[in-house]
Amino acid sequence: MTTFNPVLSALRRGAAEATKGATPRRWFSGSAKRWAQEAPKVPPTGTTQGGIRPDLRSRYKEKNKDLLYYTLSLGIFTLTASYASVPLYRAICQRTGYGGIPITDSTRFTPDKLIPQTQAKRIRVTFASSVSDVLDWKFVPQQREVRVLPGETALAFYTATNKSDHDIIGVATYSVTPGGVAPYFSKIQCFCFEEQKLSKGETVDMPVFFFIDPEFLKDPQMKGVDTVTLSYTFFKAKYDDNGVTKPLPQPLRESMPATSPAPITPTATA
């Protein structure tokens, strides 16, 4: 005889009501390929052509723009630096004496630098010269050497002769050896880095006015230095096929000032 249990009966009624209308559970026992075929296809939302969401596409586009701007900026900077490197390097060398280039910065020619140090030994300064293969000039120093005290000014001359049958413009570069002397080798006047025009067959004298900074004596690395060599090399400057200066375009010529600083006039020799 079965005994009626009201609690058990209530639990059964609740379970029946809870499962009423629910989808029967389906157990898959096939292969993965079959599951992929029978799985419900959920359409993608928020996609565009290519399956990329609009927000991601916009983000990638902005990143590509930034990369393009950075690349262009780097290219412009590199191009500008390549054009400015030569004059910038030259200016730094002339101011600091780096690379064996004597100092030509006039702000460093203070009166206390121009006092001969009579207690020091004289320094032997020799002169050297060379000419580019494409420049038909003869270029030599007038003196082989001079001996100066630190702080004492000295004047030397080079002679240049145009051996060609047409006018030529040349420009000179210079250096000092040993290179460590360059910060102390100061030139008050010289013809370096300035265009020098010589007519056919013309000969000119080019002055070099210089001194050795007394600070030279305080540098322990200069204690064994008693000989300094000043070297000049002449190259061919701006010219056309005939070795004549190219004329300026008319608009540029009209925009230039009527007067310009007069260059140092070299002394002609017979």
pLDDT of residue 76: 80
What is d(CA 166, CA 8) in angstroms, rounded to the nearest whole number? 127
Q: Which CATH superfamily is domain 106-246 in?
A: Ctag/Cox11 (2.60.370.10)
Alpha helices of the chain — where are they, by DSSP H? 6-19, 32-38, 54-96, 250-255
Domain boundaries along the sequence of the chain: 106-246
List, for residues 14-69, the tens digit of each pLDDT value.
666 655 555 555 544 555 556 556 555 555 555 555 556 676 777 777 777 777 77
* Sequence-ordered list of residues with C-beta below 8 angstroms from that of 198, at least 6 positions apart, any chain: 137, 160, 161, 162, 167, 168, 169, 170, 204
Q: Where is 193: in which H helix or E strand?
A: none
The answer to whether 193 touches 172, Cβ cutoff 8 Å, is: yes
Residue in the block written with tokens 């000049």: 232
Backbone angles phi, psi at 230, to 5 degrees: -100, 120
Q: pLDDT at position 61, please?
A: 75
What mean pLDDT value characterizes the chain? Answer: 74
DSSP 176: E
| 128 pLDDT higher than 60 | yes
Instruction: Write down the pLDDT at residue 67.
Output: 79
The two tokens of residue 34 are 């079959």
DSSP conformational letter for 139 = E
Task: Tell me which amino acid residue 8 is.
Answer: L
- Amino acid making up residue 186: S
**Listed range (25-29, 80-84, 161-165) with the worst mean pLDDT:** 25-29
Which pLDDT band holds residue 113 (cuts at 50, 70, 90)?
confident
239: CB partners within 8 A, 6+ apart:
168, 169, 245, 246
Give backbone dihedrals phi and psi of 135, rounded to 5 degrees, phi first: -105, 115
Assigned token pair, 120: 């020091």
Mean pLDDT of all residues in 164-193:
90
Q: What is the pLDDT of residues 206-222, one digit of tens each?
A: 999 999 999 999 999 99
Rounded CA-CA distance 235/218 in Å is 36
DSSP state at residue 103:
B
The pLDDT score that the predictor gives to residue 254 is 38
Q: Rounded to whole angstroms, how far apart are CA atoms 214 and 115? A: 8
The more confidently predicted of residues 247 and 63 is 63
